[in-house]
Chains A and B, each alone.
Chain A
Amino acid sequence: MDKPKFRKGMLSSIIPGLSLLSQRGLAGWLVVLGFIMVVSIVTMTAISPWVAPYDPSALIGKPLMSPNSQFLFGTNDLGQDVFSRVLSGGGIMLEVSILSVIICLLIGVPLGLFSSYAGGLVDRFFCLIMDSIYAFPGLVLAIAIAAMLGRGVTNMALSIAVVYVPSYFRVIRSQVLSIKEMPYVEAANAAGAKGRTILSRYIFPNVVPSIVVVATVNFADAILTAAGLTFIGLGVSPGIPDWGWDLTNGRRLLSSGTWWVIAYPGLMIILLALGFTLMGEGLSEMANPRLRE
């Protein structure tokens, strides 16, 4: 298993030169740190069925036992093992965020490319719509959509995606606007290349780094929004272990002083969101060195 090599190779195929991480100073380390955090949480969630000491949904202990040698993180009000639930509770949140980022990519990227390249009225139209969504409180919009669509991973991902598509659109649009004026695009145009070819061969590859940055930052947003939706009662059904749901459930128990029921799932959400934020922070500094100032 030479995982690190594979990882570096994969990333550097996305952004050429990323393998020089150690030479990038603080930004490089941020990316590495964030990446390690995210990968370890994903791994932990993936292997949890084999390593968790108890079945996360089984009622095995007395309710609300404080952390002890048998139950490392204690038990919740139903007598479920908090430690096992923490290990496996990232599944839904990861599914939702990955799916919503994919939806955003599939909608936001082509739309941004097309709209800015086409220009004129088409561009104005899309900009107006995107700006309206962008200006609106994201969580409120997500709540409205999620309330209409109902529960489920896909519906949650969809309602989150709608909120964040404009961020992709805006970044890509501004990039394309400047790339469009580059001499090599002009040259391709003069050589008689079709619009589609110019977009996919000449412009798109240059936008990829910014897309990676937006998507990474967006992961953190998606995770926090998913947690928020769950907190409000629009999450996936409560049967499946989920950090967001455990937090929500723990709110009722606050007055009994059972801190362990919420502390661990809460920390996990923070770590996961923090991992993506650090990665995003580092990557955007690399993609745009002037921001360092």
Chain B
Amino acid sequence: MVFILLTMIFLVIRVLPGDPVMLHFEKQENPDLMDQMRRRLGLDKPLWIQYFDYMFGLFRGNLGESMEDYSSVGQQIFSAFPATLELAIFSMVVAVSIGIFLGVEASKGYGKTRDNVIRVFGIVTYAIPVFFLGMVFQMVFGLGLHWLPVGLRLPPRLDPPSGLTIGSVHFSTGLYTVDSLFEGNIYKFVEAIRYLALPSLTLGLVLSGVFIRLTRSNMFETLRLDYVTAARARGLSESKVTYGYALRNAFLPVLTMMGLQFATLLGGAILTETTFSWPGLGRYIVDRINFRDYTAIQGAVVVFGIFVSFVSLVVDLLYAYLDPRIRL
């Protein structure tokens, strides 16, 4: 599947009408420079050789050279990736927490006003463009109330956290929250969370609708099962019954959905990153589009694809771990 995907990306970038080099130079004709670039990037070779070059390059982690300055695309993506990962993780946490909480609340009052209000909320979140919500948050919480910062990952005066250093071995994840904890710098950790708050809330809210709906319908079914009634009959508190007993079963489909929604999340991340000047992979793609840097766009798209496939693999494994009925 990953293989087909990579082939498709290759086809989209190289075979669709429009020669990347021509597009890069727009209308300024400069045949010498264009030929030079084609040779440098190997775009003058026959298509099938380009294809194998590209595939072999990928296996060695080589994503080609940027059309802008011939720097390594792989390295640039590698340094932008953790920012996107951090945003994705926090947004997913936000989306799932809101989704489960509201979903459970809705299922308790099935068909009543509370349920309908939550349902409408879920439908509305689905129809909001993520960047618009981001801008509204920026205006209200950032520029209006001055509660939270509206862009970047840390205040400009702070250096990025350095991560863990044991003796001469240096280790950093690129996730600022984790790195600042490794460094033992609580102030930086708090700042990193504050800077994460608005972007991840934006992205998380937009995604939460799916989880609300799913949790609601699953909980509704689970709450009617015998074992839940039995738990109630034993006099357990209502919250223990819903969260401790029913939710455990209703959570499995939510987990599957997390894997499926991850692709949507990354799409939304591009827009969120642009709104909040978040220096991640999405921002990188948008920048490169402005420079008409097609090798870089291709590289970033490839990394997105591999990332999504990797996540769906992890979800499958988790699923087998959490549900003893499924064994690999």
Interface residues of A (CB under 8 A from B): 128-129, 131-133, 135-141, 143-145, 147-150, 220, 224, 227-228, 231-234, 247, 250-251, 254-255, 257, 259, 262-263, 266, 269-270, 273-274, 277-278, 281, 293
Contacts and interface: CB of A to CB of B under 8 A. Distances in A.
Given A131-B1, A250-B135, A269-B129, A137 B271 contact: no
A140 B267 contact: yes
B91 interface: no
Contacts of B72: none
Contacts of A255: 143
A191 B328 CA distance: 46
Interface string B29-48: 00000000000000000000
B266 A247 contact: no
A143 B143 contact: no
Contacts of B267: 137-140, 228
A185 B305 CA distance: 40
A132 B5 contact: yes
Given A247-B131, A270-B129, A278-B123, A148 B16 contact: yes
A145 B123 contact: no
Contact of B126 (A143, A220, A250): A220
A144 to B, nearest CB: 5
A219 to B, nearest CB: 11
A281 B270 CA distance: 27
Nearest to B116: A26
A82 B4 CA distance: 46
A35 to B, nearest CB: 15
A140 B271 contact: no
A147 B281 CA distance: 16
Contacts of A224: 127, 129
Contacts of B18: 148-150
Nearest to A256: B143
Interface stretch (B175-183, B197-205, B286-294): B286-294
A266 B136 contact: yes
Interface of B: 1, 4-5, 8-9, 12-13, 16-18, 20, 23, 123-124, 126-132, 135-136, 138-139, 143-144, 150, 217, 220-221, 263-264, 266-268, 270-271, 274-275, 285-286, 289-290, 294, 297-298, 301, 304-305, 308-309, 312
B4 A254 contact: no
Contacts of B220: 293
A137 B268 CA distance: 9
B132 A136 contact: no
A143 B285 CA distance: 9
B308 A254 contact: no
The 6 A-B pairs of least Cβ separation, nearest first, read: A139-B267, A273-B127, A274-B127, A266-B132, A137-B263, A137-B266
Given A140-B267, A255-B143, A277 B129 contact: no
A233 B286 contact: yes
A233 B289 contact: yes
A188 B77 CA distance: 57
28 contacts: A132-B5, A135-B309, A135-B312, A136-B305, A137-B308, A139-B268, A140-B267, A140-B305, A144-B12, A144-B13, A147-B297, A227-B129, A228-B130, A232-B271, A251-B131, A251-B135, A251-B275, A254-B135, A254-B143, A257-B143, A266-B129, A266-B132, A269-B129, A269-B132, A270-B129, A277-B123, A293-B217, A293-B221
A231 B12 contact: no
B274 A231 contact: yes
A269 B275 CA distance: 17
A26 B242 CA distance: 27
Given A144-B12, A148-B20, A263-B136, 19 more contacts: A132-B5, A135-B5, A137-B263, A137-B305, A139-B266, A144-B298, A148-B16, A148-B17, A148-B18, A149-B17, A228-B130, A233-B286, A254-B135, A255-B143, A269-B132, A270-B132, A273-B128, A281-B123, A293-B221
A277 B127 contact: yes
Interface core residue of A128, A140, A250 (most chain B CB under 10 Å): A140
A35 B266 CA distance: 31
Contacts of B264: 137-138
A231 B268 CA distance: 12
Given A140-B301, A277-B126, A145 B16 contact: yes
